[in-house]
Amino acid sequence: MSLWLPVLSALLISLLGGLYVIGAFRRRRSKEPPLDKGHIPWLGHALDFRNNPVEFLQKMQRKHGDIFTVELGGYYITFVMDPLSFRSIEKEARSKLDASLFNKQFVERAFGYHYLENERKIQEVGNKHLMGDGLVVMMQALMKNLQNLILYSAGTVEDHKKWQQDGLLHYSNNILFRAGYLSLFGNETVKRMGSKEKAEEFDWVHSEELFNEFRKYDSLFPNLVYAMLPLKGKLEAERLKRLFWNVLSFKKIMQKDNVSRWIIDHLQLRQEQGMAEYMQARYMFLLLWGSQGNTGPASFWLLLFLMKHPEALKAVKEEVDKVLQETNQEVKPGGPLINLTRDMLMKTPILDSAVEETLRLASAPVLIRAVMQDMDFKIADGKEYALRKGDRVAIFPYIAVQMDPEIHPEPHRFKYDRFLNPDGTKKADFYKNGKKVKYFTMPWGLGISMCPGRFFAMNEMKQIVFLMLVYFDFELVNAEEDIPPIDQSRWGIGVIHPTHDIQFRYRLRF
């Protein structure tokens, strides 16, 4: 017995230590938000949250109120559900609430990229091209590639007036990914291919092949982010990563023409910091996914909502035609391509409202901050709560703001003019409990961690709708078909996806 006593003691200590590590002994402290750990040690509510975060968080909110802490896969996450309290999160110093810690873990797992010590400063310098004059240059490149792609596709049919059919999600993803990829990472050189025609043909074929591989990776993305890929999926994800790392290597990018200055600056800045070329390629893959992963699905929803609501489609089309006429441009057989400028896209308040309404209905990110030290946190009603170092604070705007019927009456209904005042100007006054809500939609994040590419993404959506309305007649194949349900696996990542595609058809107007 004396021999077994040390062994049993060691086992008991190990067991207690393991239980402590997985949070089995965690109890709610004074002033902390309500704590709900679930019934499964370490996992907590992770399975319920993963299966349907909307239903889960609504259930927790009914049970605990506007602030509560839940255990999800070993992490204790405090959800703040009151939009009037988001300002308290936004203004808190990074020494207390830091978004970068979660972002580092996210990009390392999804793209294999490791942050530099001064990553934030480098990104700020490189991202200057995503606004102002730099954005104008990027949008001009995108406009050229978008027009070439949509007309190249239409031109493959002998009779231009013949209807062509495609899945709307496939079409939106395909056109925007390929146009975005070519606009950012450049075109094949005429010198290498021998002629302009051969170089363009190579771009069309290469971008199509790359798009197919990108969709494979994106289909794995939710389970990759949540670390739930089976072995076969992990091997496929690794293969796809290596493919993109190769395509987006420094050597291959610098051999192309018309590479975006945004891309070149990011490469050069990282070279100056001594970053290895293999890690630079991983960052390029991150930029590709970040710029193209959500705009295709978002444009799918926008085009679908417009086709499902004829009054909205009519209003946007009239606005587009008016802007085109004001610039003395006309689409006609054999005529020049239109020159869609930034100034023109700034004269489309109806389209702007339709885009914002689409993002309200279709964007569902989870915004997370790491609690860096024990701290007090005051919400809008004046109550103060204690947050524990090592925990996370999270916002799920889809429930907290975008589907709140007090902020947005009839929240599940698409209203193309929801963000317009009666005089046609942009509406920005929304209220809850009689108080103005600063964040009435949150597709791009919060505060200094907002997506730096949001202006580029918005213009991508606007450009494809503008060009589709200018060049094509389009409609759903079955106007009575229901809007597809939401793919539950995409909650919390960005723009939601449908469970299946929906067929539409299009033909040239001239």
Domain of residue 438, CATH code:
1.10.630.10
What pLDDT was estimated at residue 227? 84
pLDDT at position 23: 54
306 & 170 share domain:
yes
Q: Of how many residues is the chain composed? A: 510
Q: Are 281 and 409 in the same domain?
A: yes
Same domain, 108 and 123: no
Residues 316 and 376 in one domain: no
The pLDDT, as a whole number, for residue 24 is 66
Domain of residue 169: give its range. 119-364+404-508
Q: Among 124, 89, 65, 9, which Cα is nearest to 370's?
A: 89
pLDDT in single tens digits along all 510 residues of the chain? 444 544 434 443 443 344 444 456 799 999 999 999 999 999 999 999 999 999 999 999 999 999 999 999 999 999 999 999 999 999 999 999 999 888 898 999 999 999 988 888 888 877 888 888 899 999 999 999 999 999 877 764 555 678 999 999 999 999 999 999 999 999 999 999 999 999 999 999 999 999 999 999 999 999 998 888 999 999 999 999 999 999 999 999 999 999 999 999 999 999 999 999 999 999 999 999 999 999 999 999 999 999 999 999 999 999 999 999 999 999 988 788 999 999 999 999 999 999 999 999 999 999 999 999 999 999 999 999 999 999 999 999 999 999 999 999 999 999 999 999 999 999 999 999 999 999 999 999 998 888 889 999 999 999 999 999 999 999 999 999 999 999 999 999 899 999 999 999 999 987
Question: Sign of dihedral through CA atoms 194, 195, 199, 202?
Answer: negative
Residue 10 maps to a domain: no
C-alpha to C-alpha distance for 105 and 120, rounded to whole angstroms = 15
Domain match, 445 and 455 both: yes
Domain shared by 347 and 280, yes or no: yes
Q: Does residue 74 fall inside a structural domain?
A: yes
pLDDT of residue 123: 82
Residue position matching structure tokens 């077994």: 4
408-414: list long-range contacts, CB under 8 Å, 24+ apart: 408/360, 408/440, 412/361, 414/305, 414/308, 414/309, 414/312, 414/357, 414/358, 414/361
Check whether 50 is labelled as a binding-site residue.
no
**How high is the pLDDT of residue 481?**
96
- Claim to verify: residue 309 and residue 452 sit in the same structural domain: yes
Pair 32, 167 in one domain: no
Residue among 445, 442, 447 nearest 430 (CA): 442
- 195, part of any domain: yes
Q: Are 101 and 171 part of one and the same domain? A: no
Question: Please, what is the Cα angle at 284 between 279 and 288, to 5 degrees?
Answer: 150
Q: Is 335 part of any domain?
A: yes
392 is in an annotated binding site: yes
Instruction: Identify whether residues 173 and 197 lie together within a single domain.
Output: yes
Q: Report pLDDT for 365.
A: 94
Q: List, as one string, the DSSP characters of 274-307.
A: T--HHHHHHHHHHHHHHHHTTHHHHHHHHHHHHH
Single out the residue in 374, 395, 416 at which a domain terminates.
Answer: 395
- Give the contacts of 167 (CB within 8 A, at least 6 positions apart): 501, 502, 503, 504
| CA-closest candidate to residue 184, choices 103, 111, 277, 283 | 283
> Does any domain span residue 12?
no
For residue 62, say whether it is annotated as part of any ligand binding site: no
- CA dist 249 to 14, 263, 274, 427, Å? 47, 12, 16, 44
Are residue 132 and residue 87 in the same domain, yes or no? no
Is 94 known as a binding-site position? no
Neighbours of 5 (CB within 10 A): 9
Pair (167, 285) in one structural domain = yes
Residue 124 located in a structural domain: yes
Q: Are 265 and 273 in contact (CB under 8 A)?
A: no
Other beta carbons within 10 angstroms of residue 67's beta carbon come to 22
Which among 378, 395, 412 is the end of a domain?
395
Q: Is residue 443 part of a domain?
A: yes
pTM of the model: 0.93
Q: How many domains does the chain have?
A: 2
Q: C-alpha distances in angstroms, 278 versus 115, 186, 234, 252?
A: 13, 19, 20, 12
Assigned domain for 438 exists: yes
The CA angle 309-497-114, to the nearest 5 degrees, is: 140
